[in-house]
């Protein structure tokens, strides 16, 4: 059975819920190669006292270790929220083949920048499980107000 974008976004949402439970901004990511997850990550900026410890960065690091390469052009990253400029830069250098994200990030997302921060060959798919991803973010920030 072929697993689809919704399945892998649900796996990214599981990572985001780990962040939520740790009182971190609830963003999760998984890196997929040939229908298998080779990297997982969730925001851990507070836990690790590291502003670069975004879900995408941690998932990339895990994927580099698993795949034994820093070039991930055959891989897809599923992330619950549109990557920021820093993460987009890392995704570019890793040459990730496809980025699938759940909900837009209107204040800091990579789509705010022109020219694109991503590798020119990277495919982008947006709004996969948009409501679920957006709801988790809204629930988190509502509890902070």
Active site residues: 56
Q: If you count DSSP H runs as helices and E runs as strands, how many of each does the chain have, helices first? A: 4, 5
| Strand, helix or coil for residue 73 | coil
Contacts (Cβ under 8 Å, ≥6 apart) of 50? 44
| Cis before 115 (ω within 30) | yes
- The residue with tokens 């499980």 is 129
Compute the Cα dihedral for 7, 123, 140, 44 and give only its sign: positive
Compute the Cα dihedral for 131, 137, 143, 145 and give only its sign: negative
First-to-last alpha carbon distance for the chain, in angstroms, is 44
């Amino acid at each position: 059975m072929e697993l689809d974008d919704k399945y892998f976004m649900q796996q990214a949402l599981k990572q985001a819920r780990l962040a939520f439970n740790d009182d971190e901004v609830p963003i999760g990511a998984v890196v997929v190669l040939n229908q298998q997850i080779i990297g997982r990550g969730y925001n851990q900026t507070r836990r690790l006292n590291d502003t670069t410890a975004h879900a995408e960065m941690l998932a990339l690091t895990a994927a580099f270790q698993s795949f034994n390469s820093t070039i991930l052009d055959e891989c897809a990253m599923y992330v619950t929220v549109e990557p920021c400029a820093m993460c987009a830069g890392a995704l570019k250098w890793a040459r990730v083949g496809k980025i699938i994200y759940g909900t837009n990030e209107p204040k800091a997302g990579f789509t705010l920048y022109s020219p694109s921060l991503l590798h020119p060959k990277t495919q982008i798919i947006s709004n996969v499980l948009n409501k679920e991803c957006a709801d988790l973010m809204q629930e988190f920030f509502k509890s902070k107000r």
